[in-house]
Structure 1
């Protein structure tokens, strides 16, 4: 028992040191720091799986104290508040041996909690609400005004300048409207990345952890297709009857369901193209399709209908 405690304490200290080093990288290394920031929960996840939740909670607290001393209190607060909850949630899911879907769900919810917790602490400390996009959008519009004046002095025609202004203002409005789905996607990316990398690390350490099925076999819930239909009706009603809240909710639902349809459509194509082209060429084509608005929409619609009809199952039977 004593040797186990010594081993647990030693590993805890080592993994806390790794979290602090990753925090230092996030602050002082611009490019590598992005990866270090997103993967900051990883050592805590490993620690929880190997030694239990109590060690994970204590390690998060210890990392916060050390980061406060070595970096700054604000940086420590932001890092721990944003990534502490998903660290504990994902670690708990792996520790309890939950299904991959439940672990990801816990991680996404915890990531969203981290976003709002960070915003609340920032507002409490500085008085600035980072979630209030109206002020940021207004400052961006003011900065853009100076840029438009420069374009005008360079000889841009009045019609071209007016068109550019209109497109910019519409883009700013969309940024404000799509704020909820941006937060949701950021939480999904954080949870999925740490789930995927954490699962590989834990398996290398000899732990049996649940994994997602192969990408070719991904089947997203049918409910997403109905959400897509609701979003189309909501966008129509919201615009024709000038119901702003309905329009915003529908727009976010449309973007989220379309992205889900694109993922499912890509899984369908991946299944059919598995033995036809190399994987790097396949993903290069997917990137091109994603950047092409019209083709990506077609693939997204195909993916949405696959949730209902399951093309892969039908073709395998035939």
Structure 2
């Protein structure tokens, strides 16, 4: 009885914190990003300390109060966008999963939340947020084109640049599933990292990720990347662009995986040869701001997956 009362009291307090964070994210843009990262932490903490039921209850209560203050749509955004990943990570940590497994669980939860929010937006509000964003990007390209033309820039150069941007936007519209997967991975990683920092400050401990220089992806990632390339080449034999869309998304997701693996390889050699901090910073800047070096890192990551240069 005492434990149940304690769980309910802590749930009420942490629900109040989540509501405050929700309001901060809505009304204070500067703090909004920070609040969205911290929002799942109370739910994660409840899941660790008191189990799945209490974390779900706290999320639902927070959603109801946000609905009363801001409307049902904002409440759905809060519950699905933030609450689901908090519930999932709290459950995974309470089961003593490794940090990598927790990341996978959080990624799935974040991806489900994004898909459900899109479906609700489509069938309840009658709005396709993806099409809205793509249309906004195309409109911004048109506005930039008019601006540069009015400034007297070379018309052919402006038209060529505009055409390149439009092609990039069209490719982006095809790669939305891959973008969602990558965004879900980043969401899960950031939320787990912030939760670990906060929970450690509160006197508890959760598992660390494997040191970055030891990260090693399984060899099937290369297989799926090659499948993506193959599907793109087979596009002429299948209508409606289905194979190209699947192939592009596979390439996007696993190219990102190779890039992370390549950075892990780079970190390994930085440590092995005791590279100075200024040179490390310079190398990282070159990779992030020069596409040629970024591609080298990604391909190095792919070959490391196949050949295991570090003998991990």
TM over 0.5: yes
Distance in 2, matches of 1:28 and 1:279, equals: 40
Q: How does 1:149-160 map to 2 (within 5 A)?
A: 149-160=146-157
Distance 1:13 1:230, change over 3 A: same
Per-residue deviation, 1:282 = 2.5
Q: Distance in 2 between matches of 1:283 and 1:116?
A: 37
CA contact under 8 A between 1:39 and 1:193: conserved in structure 2? no
| Preserved contact between residue 261 and residue 301 of structure 1 (Cα < 8 Å) | yes
Instruction: Report deviation, 1:56.
Output: 0.4
Q: Find the counterpart in structure 2 of residue 299 from structure 1.
A: 297
2:127 is the counterpart of 1:144? no
Is structure 2 residue 149 aligned with structure 1 residue 178? no
Aligned partners of 1:208 and 1:156: how far apart in 2? 59
1:98-117 → structure 2 map (5 Å cutoff): 98-117=97-116
How do residues 25-36 of structure 1 correspond to structure 2 at under 5 angstroms?
25-36=24-35
Contact 1:45 1:198 in 2 (8 A): yes
Equivalent position SS for 1:31: helix
1:52 alignment partner in structure 2: 51
CA distance in 2, matches of 1:115, 1:232: 27
Tell whether the 8 Å contact from 1:82 to 1:117 is kept in structure 2 after alignment: no
Would you say the 8 A contact 2:37–2:194 is kept in 1?
A: no
Shift of 1:291: 2.3
Aligned counterparts of 1:123 and 1:147: Cα–Cα separation in 2: 30
Distance 1:284 1:32 in 2: 31
Look up the SS of the partner of 2:11 in the other structure: helix
Deviation of the 1:243 alpha carbon? 6.6
User: Does the C-alpha gap of structure 1 residues 122 and 242 become closer, same or farther in structure 2, counting only changes over 3 Å?
Assistant: closer
Q: Once the two structures are superposed, what CA deviation does each residue of 1:52-107 show, in whole Å capped at 9, x if it has no partner? A: 11110110011112212333332222121222221111111011112323221111
The answer to whether structure 1 residue 198 and structure 2 residue 206 are counterparts is no
TM-score norm. by structure 1 comes to: 0.89
**Unaligned 5+ residue runs, structure 1?**
none
Which digits, 9 at most, give the CA deviation of each residue in 1:212-235, with x for residues without a partner? 211011111111111222222233
SS class of match (1:18): helix
Q: Do the aligned partners of residues 5 and 176 (structure 1) sit closer, same or farther apart at CA in structure 2, a change above 3 Å counting? A: same
Question: 1:39-118 to 2 correspondence within 5 Å?
Answer: 39-118=38-117
Q: What's the TM-score once normalised by structure 2's chain length?
A: 0.90
User: 1:288 — aligned with what?
Assistant: 286
Residue of structure 2 in register with 1:254 after alignment: 251
